[in-house]
Structure 1
Amino acid sequence: MCGIYGTTIPYSAEEVKSKLERIAFRGPDQSGSQLFELDNGQVILGHNRLSIIDLDKRSNQPFTYNDNIHIVFNGEIYNFRYLKKILEQKGYLFKTTSDTEVICAAYLEYGKDCVSHLNGMFAFVIFDQAQQILFGARDRLGQKPFYYYHAGKNFEFASQVSSIQQFNDKLSISKDSISQYLSWGYVPDPFTIFNEVKKLRAGHVFTFRIKTGEFESNGFWDIDYKATSTFPGTYEEAQTELERLISDSVKLRLFADVPVGVFLSGGIDSSLVTALATKTTAEKVKTFSVKFNKQGFDESQFASKVADYLNTEHHVIECDYGEGLNLIDSFSYYYDEPFADASAIPSMLLSKYTKNHVTVALSGDAGDEAFIGYHRYNWMSYIEKAFRAPSRIRLAFAYLLKKVPYYKLQFIGSIMGMKDINLAYLSTVSGLNSTWANGNTDTANLVEAKYLYHTCKNIYERVSDFDIKTYLNSDINTKVDRASMAYSLEIRSPLMDYRIIEFSRMLPTDFKFQKGNQKRILKDVLYRHVPKTFFERPKSGFTMPFKEWFRNELKDYVLSELNDTGLRQIPSIDQQEVKSIINMHMTAKANNYPIIWRLLILKQWLKNNARFALK
């Protein structure tokens, strides 16, 4: 896991060094850059290394293969040993035991199609000196970030936008992106908070021609959202195949030249990853969970119970909420775009203390999206029934609910009043129907709307597909990447193996969701290894008590930051309505902490980036 950087802009050596130092936490083991002088300009490649595979300096980057291929790479290629054998049979020679070198050889053998042969999480750029091009790619599910700036022959890329914004006086803050952020809690791909900087979309490659400045990007992978293939076997056969896939995925991700552990929350997904890890390695598995010192937010006992049963070397990390509060001040330094998922704070705490024991940790991310696990999916089963009723009756009922003086019923009423079920779902996962955020995002311009607005699948599969392409990519992966990289910890997610995602898209809905039983097949695979009784409790999230904090410990902070003066500094909001929202929360008439947190983070980011104009 690393931080990459590169540019054709003639920055000085000191400026490039500063850009790398800005994200040094991503790769503290080695930092370096290389300048390539060209007839018509130059290329600079830079890299911060977190050593995971082949710890020798021979694998430091920028890395050169066969004289003309130069690469900077962030991520891991899990099948590199298998791919290396194939390439060796074709005559390729290797001087290291790293996956970086394998990417270079794969590029020479397969060209731009090399990415189709890679199973991993990655963002890389190859400078092909013979062809005078930069070729780059981002993994299928967007686990690794990739930002770029393109203006004519000027091209710059980095793992985080903070490296690009240094020494660049041509950037401006995007009003449209602020509106997107206020709706979703993040700035969705391919946009960033700056008008002039973009994210490479997940599952895409690009080519930049140095001589002409031409930039071209194309997709190389997507989910089967049109349901062109289905699993032909029985439920029992599907369980067996899924277990085989997850076991292989876990085995691949346990390989490293540094200590590896597993995040174990005690929930379905992390327990399954842990259980299969104990089956695929002879070493005792190290597991990690976090214990918070506030009643009602400590579920570490569930993780300890699973750990005892599986006989892991379990570590319970005790975190003080005061430490979590302190992280708020440095939040925008690591999440260098506005980002409003409050579970980022406990994720940072877990990563901070896990790094004291291991350099790599496996997680259970993607189980909810791929196997219909979120509460809102179950809720959609009720909403779907409402939308089957005649619209006249549904709209009348929605009108009555919105008149009830209870915010949850009012929200349900607003959802039932939507023109279709797709828009109803969009409104549950965003602020698209919020009147407090002016200039809200137009869903007609949402690229990912195609995963919802079709009739090839039922509503459960469509919202699952939509979340894989949006929430998993832009929220979960961003949260995990920044939280772990802040402490130079690499996170690997076995359930995000593209083979498992593709398999989940083939399964009939009732294999995943049946009579309210969410993640049915994942649970049944897990129950082969851990007793079912361990998990007979409501699903819980991974969060901190911001609802209570904002009414107590942080009340003065909230009211001072979001007073009249503070609210005037935040664009695209209705100040009077926001004041009402804050008052409703403080008087316990509603739970509006997500909106308050969203505004606090945005205000902090705008304050730290005041030198950029808003356009």
Structure 2
Amino acid sequence: MCAIAGIFDLYQQADIDPAVLRQMTDLQRHRGPDQAGMHREPGVGLGHRRLAIIDLASGAQPLFNEDRSVMVVYNGEIYNFPALMRELQQFGHSFRTRCDTEVIVHAWEQWGARCVEHFRGMFAFALWDRRQRCLFLARDRLGVKPLHYAVLDNGQLIFASEIKALLAHGQLRRNLDPLAIDEYFAYGYIPEPRTVFRQIRKLEPGHTLLVRHGSAPGAPHRYWDVPFQRHRLISQDHAADELLARLREAVRIRLVAEVPLGAFLSGGVDSSAVVAMMAHASPTPVNTCSIAFDEAQFDESRYATLVAERYHTHHHSQRVAQHDADLIDQLAALYDEPFADSSALPTYRVCQLARQRVTVALSGDGGDENLAGYRRYRDHLHAERWRALLPLGVRQPLFGTLGRLYPAADWAPRPLRAKTTLQALGRDAVAAYFDRVCLLKDAMRAQLFSPALRRDLGPYHAVQVLRRHAADCPASDPLSLVQYLDLKTYLPGDILTKVDRASMAHGLEVRSPLLDHSLVEWISGLPPDLKLRGGSGKFLFKQALAPYLPHELLHRRKMGFAVPLADWFRGPLRARLQRSLTSPVLEHCDMFNLPYVQQLMQQHQCGQRDHSAALWSLLMFESFLRQSLHTPGRRLEQQAA
């Protein structure tokens, strides 16, 4: 795994400043601690940091074709590179290395921009073609690897794996995007393609960007989407066998490495399935790592131990205690923009633990989105059945009015919380799902934001993120729709961002077999009732895994990878919370209603309400502001050291 960076002059062919390019590259040293490489020529400069995994001796980058007219910097793994290498050799291409990187330059020569359609893996790369005077940026289908870019006022396009590298360029404006702030407090992360900085964009998963010298960049091109094309009639038994065969293959091709390899083992179904398939494919015991918690309601370590013992893995576990909240500022610096998923804490620790023993770790990421594992899918489908009884034109005014009139009673027993139910019945499917996944509901954000921020937002509403994707959804059933929305937003924006930054902070490569795009395509075509049946998600997956995993693990209640924030904010984090949310940083940014922030803290600390999600999002936002905007130079220099 690696880091890339670069500068492309859209209109001139002036020299690229080597000091700026080197700083952009070296700020990402943690992603590639083994080697550094840089290439400059008039109008273009490419930088690379390498974490060596395959072909340790000859895989340095930037990597060139034979006549050095095409060069690439690349972050990722292309698992089908041996087959592609043989295919390209038949077309007359010659290879001087055994690494997957060289496949990219020859695939570009052979197929041009459609080369990405031939790659099976995770990747983000930038390719410069001197003859065509063009720069080609590409990101993998599911968004496992990140790629950020910005067009500067001086006519340069800059790009990098992480935002911190772009911030090193003196021409980049650091203006915050108010729409991104609304999205952050709605989702807990900032969905693609936006970033917290108005001038910086994320290249969306499954997209490429082709930029030619002498013209402004056009819109990115989407080269792949989740198809959700229903399979022909298929029996449940046959589907289970096919699912296992495809999972075995997705795991097998991810076991190629010239460095120590292992797996995360949380004790959940997905990571346990990956470990089971690894154990059957590996001639030696698998290295596994897990995190344990002091609080029993958050601790899955017992189930991880069951799987480790069953497959005789070399298992290592580490306990996350309350003092781990000291990571707050470190995490805010790591993610470069506000990120409110508190499971980033244990994710950071499990990556740290794994890196002590391996350089590559397989994970179970993607199983919940592909196989309908989230409880919110079950709840959404239940609500959809009620909404289907009346047309939207009747429901919206009727239940919308009743919902506004009924008093809020979040503190009351569930049967008395009719306001939420009435409001949900008055929404369409996308608005209802947005409300279900929303971190801070609409009314809460309206109270939290200052008048100035609300003016900047104008009519914008964060639900538009989901509406944009819903318009492209190829499926018509309600389960596939919300799975599609999560695959486009929550998976790349939260789950994969969290794992990428936490693993790369330790120079650890993470591979996700359940995000193999051919497996994702096949699973998307399964009938919805093979994914979610009788209120149980991952129905077919669990049936297929019955011979491989303990029954009590397969059929227990899903726990998730959470931390006890509510208790921390009333205990060891209480003073830190008070100090951060009354800091001059929040006061001077003029984005928040500070009396309301005080109200949230008081209600939480006296036990009246659980505002832990809102408080954590504010805590992380304050840390981001303080580090990224108020002392940017010092922070960037420290990370480069």
2:12 counterpart residue number: none
Structure 2 gaps, min length 5: 10-14, 633-641
Query: Are 1:306 and 1:530, in contact at CA under 8 Å, matched by a contact in 2?
Result: yes
2 CA distance for matches of 1:404 and 1:214?
51
Aligned mates of 1:61, 1:192 — CA distance in 2 = 28
The secondary structure found in structure 2 opposite 1:609 is helix
Counterpart pick for 1:199 among 186, 199, 202: 202
Instruction: Summarize the Cα distance change of 1:80–1:296 in structure 2 as closer, same or farther, 3 Å threshold.
Output: same
Shift of 1:68: 0.9
1:412 and 2:431 correspond:
no
- The answer for the alignment partner of 1:312 in structure 2 is 313
Question: Aligned to 2:150, what secondary structure does the other structure show?
Answer: strand
Residues 1:448 and 1:284: Cα distance change in structure 2 (over 3 Å): farther
* Match 1:433 to one of 437, 442, 450: 442
Residues 148 and 160 of structure 2 are in contact (CA less than 8 Å); yes or no, is this contact kept in structure 1? yes
Q: Which range is displaced more, 452-461 or 466-475? A: 452-461
- Report the Cα distance in structure 2 between the residues aligned to 1:194 and 1:612, rounded to whole angstroms: 16
Partner of 2:530: 511
Distance change in 2, residues 1:532/1:137 (3 Å): same
1:26 counterpart = 2:31: yes
1:180 deviates by: 1.6
Measured in 1, the distance between the counterparts of 2:347 and 2:418 equals 32
Aligned residues: 605
Aligned to 1:477: 496
Letter in 2 for 1:353: L
Are 2:16 and 2:40, in contact at CA under 8 Å, matched by a contact in 1?
no
The alpha-carbon distance between structure 1 residues 411 and 111, as it changes in their structure 2 partners (threshold 3 A), is: farther
Match runs of 1:82-481 below 5 Å = 82-151=83-152, 153-171=155-173, 172-224=175-227, 227-322=228-323, 324-388=324-388, 391=395, 394=399, 398=403, 402-404=407-409, 406=411, 409=417, 412-413=420-421, 415-416=423-424, 418-430=426-438, 431=440, 433-434=442-443, 435-438=446-449, 439=454, 441-443=460-462, 445-446=464-465, 449-451=468-470, 456-481=475-500
Q: In the aligned structure 2, how far is the partner of 1:162 from the partner of 1:520?
A: 42
1:310–1:121 Cα change, 3 Å: same
3-state SS of paired residue (2:73): strand
The reply to whether residue 532 of structure 1 matches residue 516 of structure 2 is: no
Deviation track 1:400-450 (CA, whole Å, cap 9, x = no partner) reads: 864435167377347526432321110111235233344475257436544
Instruction: Determine what percentage of the aligned residue pairs are the same residue.
Output: 33
Contact persistence 1:400–1:413 (CA under 8 A): no
Q: Give the 3-state SS of the residue equivalent to 1:573 in structure 2.
A: coil
**Deviation of 1:113 (Å):** 0.6
CA contact (8 A) 2:183 2:462 kept: no
- Answer whether contact 1:422 1:453 (CA < 8 A) is retained: no
Task: Look up the match of 2:635.
Answer: none
CA RMSD in angstroms, aligned pairs only: 2.4
Whether the 8 Å contact between 1:448 and 1:470 is mirrored in structure 2 is: no
Residues 564-594 of structure 1, C-alpha deviations (whole Å, 9 max, x = no match): 8554345543333333222221122222111
Q: CA deviation at 1:204?
A: 0.6
Provide the C-alpha distance between the structure 1 equivalents of 2:471 and 2:563, rounded to a whole number of angstroms.
31
**Letter aligned with residue 23 of structure 1:** Q
Contact 1:173 1:612 in 2 (8 A): no
- Relative to structure 1, the CA distance from residue 395 to residue 175 in structure 2 (aligned partners, 3 Å threshold; closer, same or farther) is closer
Question: What amino acid does structure 1 have at the position aligned with 2:305?
Answer: S
**Against the structure 1 CA distance between its residues 231 and 550, is the aligned structure 2 distance closer, same or farther, given a 3 Å change threshold?**
farther
244 and 610 in structure 1: CA distance in 2 versus 1, 3 angstrom threshold: same
State the one-letter code of the partner of 2:33: P
Structure-1 separation of matches of 2:384 and 2:55: 52
**1:563: Cα distance to partner?**
2.3
1:306 alignment partner AA:
V
Aligned residue for 1:528, secondary structure, equals coil
The CA distance in 2 between the partners of 1:344 and 1:230, in whole Å, is 37
Gap regions ≥5 residues in structure 1: none
Asked if the contact 1:387/1:394 (under 8 Å) is kept, the reply is: no
Aligned residue identity for 2:192: D
Query: Does the residue aligned with 2:220 lie in a helix, a strand or coil?
Result: strand
**In 1: Cα distance, 2:484 partner to 2:474 partner:** 13
Name the structure 1 match of 2:622: 603
Contact 1:22 1:163 in 2 (8 A): yes
What CA deviation, in whole Å up to 9, does each residue of 1:575-614 have, x standing for no partner?
333332222211222221111111111111111233599x
**Secondary structure of 2:136 counterpart:** strand
Q: Deviations over 1:286-328 (max 9, x none)?
A: 1111123444433211101111112222122334442x22211
Change (3 A) 1:245 1:334: same
Counterpart among 12, 17, 33 of residue 22 in structure 2: 17
The normalised TM-score by structure 1 is 0.93
1:153–1:210 Cα contact (<8 Å) kept: no
